């Protein structure tokens, strides 16, 4: 059995976060959803648990980062092609996201970057591994 990844992110408002990510085309697993959290489905092996901040805090002894002021994680999501990168980016911007840096085009890799409504940094990207040269 392969591993699955569950990224846990603190959010101010669960309803606001769900509304934002629904506009990007993501769905949510009602089995793992209540007033404190929801399970956003990225793929059959990748999930994002959106947790209201007080509930998120119960999982850590550390301070919870304010993603609008510090970077706690960058979530890079591969896309099928350049057009899919641009399409996800446009959906995010239309839903209220902020572009965090200029697009990067290295020929074999194309990447964009946005912050969601809670400040978490997302980077949709496309890469052609056959064209990538190994670093020496």
Share of residues in the chain with pLDDT > 90 (%): 88
Question: CA 106, CA 109: separation in Å to the nearest integer?
Answer: 5
C-beta separation of 94 from 100 below 8 A: no
The whole-model pTM stands at 0.86
Tens of pLDDT, residue by residue over 4-60, are 999 999 999 999 999 999 999 999 999 999 999 999 999 999 999 999 999 999 999
Instruction: Please give the domain boundaries of the chain with CATH numbers for all domains.
Output: 5-54+64-127 (3.10.180.10)
- At residue 2 the predicted structure's pLDDT band, cuts being 50, 70 and 90, is confident
With tokens 């509304």, the residue in question is: 19
C-beta separation of 91 from 23 below 8 A: yes
Please report the pLDDT score of residue 112 as a whole number: 98
């Amino acid at each position: 059995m392969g591993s699955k990844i569950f990224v846990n992110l603190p959010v101010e408002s669960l309803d606001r976060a769900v509304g934002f990510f629904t506009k990007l085309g993501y769905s949510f697993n009602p089995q793992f959803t209540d007033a404190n959290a929801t399970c956003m489905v990225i793929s059959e092996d990748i999930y994002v648990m959106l947790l209201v901040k007080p509930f998120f805090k119960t999982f850590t002894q550390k301070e919870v980062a304010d993603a609008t002021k510090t970077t706690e994680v960058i979530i890079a999501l591969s896309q099928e092609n350049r057009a899919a990168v641009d399409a996800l980016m446009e959906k995010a911007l239309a839903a209220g996201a902020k572009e965090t840096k200029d697009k990067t085009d290295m020929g074999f890799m194309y990447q964009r970057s946005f912050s969601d409504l809670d400040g978490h940094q997302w980077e949709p990207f496309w890469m052609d591994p056959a064209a990538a040269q190994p670093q020496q």
